Amino acid sequence: MKAIVVQQRGNPVSPNVALVTDRPKPQPQSGEVLVRTEASALNSLDLWVGRGLPGIDTQYPFSSGSDGAGRVEEVGTGVDRAWIGRRILLNAAVIQDAPVHPDRFASGEDIRMIGEHSPGTMGEFFCAPVKNVLDIGDTDPIQAAAFGLTHLTAWRMLMSRAQLRPGMTILVTGIGGGVAVALLNIAKHFGCTVIVTSRHQWKLDRARELGAVHGILDDGSDWSKTVRTLTGKRGVDIVADSIGKAVHSQCIKSLVRGGVFVTCGATTGGDATTDLARMFWNQLTFMGSTMGDMDEFRAVTTFLRSGEMLPIVDSIQKPQFAKKAYERLESGEQFGKVLIDWA
């Protein structure tokens, strides 16, 4: 089959990306479905895989991809044949069968990612456990692939972890990335006031068009004072961040007393210096969040199916132009999702 592969580890990743025609077509194992890919989407994870994730023994050439939608073509043993022909959307976070304590979420050790630990959606076909796919009916596959992982991640961050309520004030850092745009999408849907940051004025302008109330240009200075001014010195109820070290201090200083800081990543580094005195004195809550389970996936995908919550698509490429898609993501100039159209 045709597949987009990273031929060898490297940084930048895009020079190592190629479309090949000789990848073996995967075969569904017990409990799995084989899907003919209609659309797949890139995530930051694809870049980390291409650079060589620490602790993951990736064998190159490797075909990643953790977002995908398509039609089921075959099923493995134990799977109802009624799945054949259905359009599905993938949740790439496969939670292992090992017991998980009911009072905690699955950790990284409990999760294996399709597209990281095993080949993903960047090919004409992919396999997945049937328990990790949803029947999405006639939903547009481009919209679905653009929605999946980012909205699942954002949903867990805001709804499951930070316990978002309508009317709250939310700060989203680094608007333009897939998760950040999904955070804006969800917070806006629930009637929250959203403040966003970016290093690019055009991204702030675009975010305002999509419902952000305020945009702060991140020029490297301490923008927490601006957040305080915009909120009448109160601060925000929730900070949702994936940037990490470079903005951590500003994030913490932007929180209202009793506020919540929730993070799903640290693109500028995880070794941030925090302020424990502010943390205990203002009774702040710090939370981590990773991926999401199938109950959460069903919950957020309901809004996609109804048309109440749609993803933002930055650009779409055909497989033969995959290198351009990776270049777009690596540039940091995208706003929303970068997709591959396999139809």
**Residues 257, 325 within the same domain:** no
Residue 235, domain member (yes or no): yes
Pairwise CA distance, residues 336 & 316, whole Å? 11
Q: Are residues 166 and 203 in the same domain?
A: yes
Residue 115 lies in a domain: yes
Whether the model clears a pTM of 0.85, i.e. scores above it, the answer is: yes
Q: Which of 278, 311, 23 is nearest to 151 (CA)?
A: 311
Are residue 156 and residue 237 in the same domain, yes or no?
A: yes
Query: Residue 205 and residue 196: Cα distance in Å, rounded?
Result: 10
pLDDT digit string (tens) for the chain, length 343 residues = 999 999 999 999 999 999 999 999 999 999 999 999 999 999 999 999 999 987 777 899 999 999 999 999 999 999 999 999 999 999 999 987 654 454 455 555 578 999 999 999 999 999 999 999 999 999 999 999 999 999 999 999 999 999 999 999 999 999 999 999 999 999 999 999 999 999 999 999 999 999 999 999 999 999 999 999 999 999 999 999 999 999 999 999 999 999 999 999 888 889 999 999 999 999 999 999 998 999 999 999 999 999 999 999 999 999 999 999 999 999 999 999 999 999 9
For residue 101, the surrounding DSSP H or E stretch is none
Distance of CA 329 to the CA centre of its chain: 13
- The CATH number given to whatever domain includes residue 226 is 3.40.50.720
What per-residue confidence (pLDDT) applies to 53? 80
The answer to whether residues 219 and 281 belong to one domain is yes
Question: Could you tell me if 112 and 180 lie in one domain?
Answer: no
Same domain, 53 and 78: yes
Query: Residue 54 belongs to what domain range?
Result: 3-138+312-341
CA distance 195 to 254: 11
Give which of 225, 267, 214 is closest to 242, Cα–Cα.
Answer: 267
Residues 142-181: tens digit of each pLDDT: 999 999 999 999 999 999 999 999 999 999 999 999 999 9
DSSP assignments along 196-225, one per residue: EEES-HHHHHHHHHTT-SEEEE--SS-THH
Q: How many domains does the chain have?
A: 2
Strands 193-198 and 214-217, how do they pair?
parallel
**Residues 170 and 130 reside in one and the same domain:** no
Q: Which CATH number characterizes residue 116's domain?
A: 3.90.180.10
Same domain, 33 and 101: yes
